[in-house]
Structure 1
Amino acid sequence: MGMNTHSPAHAADIEAIHRVVATVEHSQQHKDPDEFLALFHQDAVWTTSGGKVLVGLGAISDFTREVLPADDWDVKVSYEVVHVLLIRPDVAAVKVRQLYLAPGDTSEGSPLYVMSKQDDGRWLLTACQNTAVASG
């Protein structure tokens, strides 16, 4: 039996997932580690675009607090949800298009965020892989 993709609950979940990605964008643009880290599940797994694997919120926090505020580039980066697959009502795979909007830097990323819906209704980043897109 297929999931009803037009139910109010489904629409609310899709909207909540979009808000998480918008908050990722906001936290990156404002170099705000606390806002970014609040989006993660305690047991999350994060793989950076460079292939560094971070397991658990502690490791993700250590990396983020070192890298995010220290960035000496004044770059705007955008995050756009391009596809949401609800694997189960409480698990979603979210494809994101990440664009760096700076003069001379038109690099792109193609993250995959697996999110899980918590008992309190929040969607959290749970298993994420950030992949750089080769130019050309």
Structure 2
Amino acid sequence: MNTESTAHAADIEAIGQVVATVEHSQQHKNPDEFLALFHPDAVWTTGGGKVLIGLGTISEFTRKVLPATDWDGKVTYEVVHVFFIRPDVAAVKVRQLYLTPGDEREGAPLYVMSKHDDGRWLLTACQNTEVAAD
């Protein structure tokens, strides 16, 4: 494996860890864990189409909505594709499954992530989209 592929492998692993942390924070309804994953100037569009600009706005929405949700926290997130736009910017396609008895819903989020100066990958521009039932 060459140096570039090794770097990409490490970055893909780190990106996967961010997505795993999104999953954990959602399952445990933990806003602090979730919000720690964002770039300060991030843009987030919710599954309902609400546009949130900047960590302050994302934080205000998340702290109000995440702990108050009435679902049981059974959700999974899986990285299905990573495209490096630049070595420090990646488009990450995710498969999201809400697993509620009698009601399984799927989401198809797109996370544009950027590598922070300290080497951490952060959510920078994200669109959460529900997959329509057939």
Pick the TM interval, shorter chain. Answer: over 0.9
Structure 1 counterpart SS, 2:103? coil
TM-score under structure 1 length normalisation: 0.95
What runs of 5+ residues in structure 1 fail to find an aligned partner? Answer: none
Counterpart selection for 2:97 from 96, 99, 107: 99
Counterpart selection for 1:118 from 97, 116, 125: 116
Other-structure match for 1:68: 66
Q: Aligned residues: percent identity?
A: 82
Other-structure match for 1:20: 18
Report if the CA contact (8 A) 2:47-2:130 is conserved: yes
Offset, 1:6? 5.8
C-alpha separation in 2, matches of 1:111 and 1:38: 18
C-alpha separation in 2, matches of 1:76 and 1:33: 16
C-alpha separation in 2, matches of 1:82 and 1:75: 21
**RMSD over aligned Cα atoms:** 1.2
Which aligned runs of 4 or more in structure 1 are off by greater than 2 angstroms? 4-7
Structure 2 counterpart SS, 1:132? coil
Structure 1 counterpart SS, 2:83? strand
1:61-102 deviations in Å (ceiling 9; x for gaps):
000000000012213000000000011000000000000111
TM-score under structure 2 length normalisation: 0.96
